[in-house]
Amino acid sequence: MPKLRGEAFWRETLRSAHYVVAPMVDQSELAWRLLSRRHGAQLCYTPMLHAQVFLRDANYRRENLYGEACPEDRPLIVQFCANDPEVFVQAALLAQDYCDAIDLNLGCPQMIAKRGHYGAFLQEEWDLLQRMILLANEKLSVPITCKIRVFPDIDKTVKYAQMLEKAGCQLLTVHGRTKEQKGPLAGVASWEHIQAVRKAVNIPVFANGNIQCLSDVEECIRKTGVHGVMSAEGNLHNPALFEGRNPLVWEMAEEYLEIVRKHPCPLSYVRAHLFKLWHHTLQVYQHLREELAKVKTLEGIIDVNRELKLRCQPNMQNVINVETLRGLHWDQPCSVSISAVDNGSKGVLSTFADDVELSGVMAHLRDRATQRDLDKLKQWPVGTSEV
């Protein structure tokens, strides 16, 4: 059977996926993918895998892809970083039976990628990239896709995308930031670049960047015309983002931990996910942050999560009606927790601003809020809520 290409590949194999979980190192593991799929994600990527290591190390293959068959974890795209055509293709050949496409990472901007000469640090080596994609397109039984970052210049970005398409790329994810935009310099992703690429190529395009809630997804699709939208940070803070829901932190944490029981992963992954989910709350309860950092077992992590829930739950019920919180949705332009708190509650929070338990309530609200909501929170006269 000939492999599908372009639009047909997106429509039939990827089931017209609009909501996409990004490849995230040590974070888009099977358990997290399954949680995300339960809550609206239609397509997931594996964490970025090193082609050279995947090729030579059977344990690495087993731990990252071969471990267990999981029919509900499809469609799935396996992402590799590589800088050698033969190594990339040989690794992809070992992975192709376990996924629906192979993605070449051309977007990682981190120093480790610079040292290893992969990711976004290959974006000037068009001849090498052409050879890698041409060979993969020729040898693999599944389509080859790419994830890129943009150049400052839109025209150069468009030519870059067209080159990848011509070489055989069947779907392109465009992160609307340059490789210099990272960490404290990340800034805002350029949807203008993404829109220009979408108009210039004839293959499906996913957008990446500036996605914190469902209304961002809808706005991005409307403004850029892309086929789908990929989320990384937004998904890590709220795995129900694509459902348009903003569930209580402990609900997502407990559900994730139950999945981990069935589909184990390294404890470091689990710990990292809970640090993301409980980010602001852990700044209030420092002793629980320290406990989470040093605990050595999954049961220990579950205990810390339970304690965080016990600390937050009663105080939230005292200050804000929990049923109101349960009704919060992302689908009202990211107006999450702020609109749910009436003026009387604001007064209570202001009056008891120095109470650490109420600071914990505010922290939990922040763990369920978007940046736009946090900007509103900053306007509240609540002394210790800035956690």
Q: Environment class of residue 5 by beta-carbon count within 10 Å: exposed (0-12), middle (13-18) or buried (19+)?
A: middle
- Tokens representing 303 are 């205990």
The single residue of 44, 108, 169, 213 carrying the catalytic annotation is 108
220 is catalytic: no
Rounded to 10°, the helix 298-319/356-367 angle is: 110
| Tokens matching residue 72 | 């509900």
H/E stretch holding 38: helix 30-38
Q: How far is CA 52 from the centre of its chain?
A: 24
Which residues are within 8 A (CB) of 202 and not within 5 positions of it... i.e. 6 or more apart?
Answer: 6, 165
The burial class, CB within 10 Å (0-12 / 13-18 / 19+), for 75 is middle
Give the separation between CA 58 and CA 193, rounded to whole angstroms.
Answer: 40
Return the structure tokens found at 47.
């964490």
Helix (H) or strand (E) holding 135: helix 126-139
Show the beta-strand stretches assigned E in the chain: 19-21, 43-45, 49-50, 76-81, 101-106, 144-149, 172-175, 205-208, 228-231
Report the candidate in 36, 124, 48 with the shortest Cα–Cα distance to residue 82: 48
Q: Which two tokens stand for residue 356?
A: 């650490």
What are the catalytic residues?
A: 108
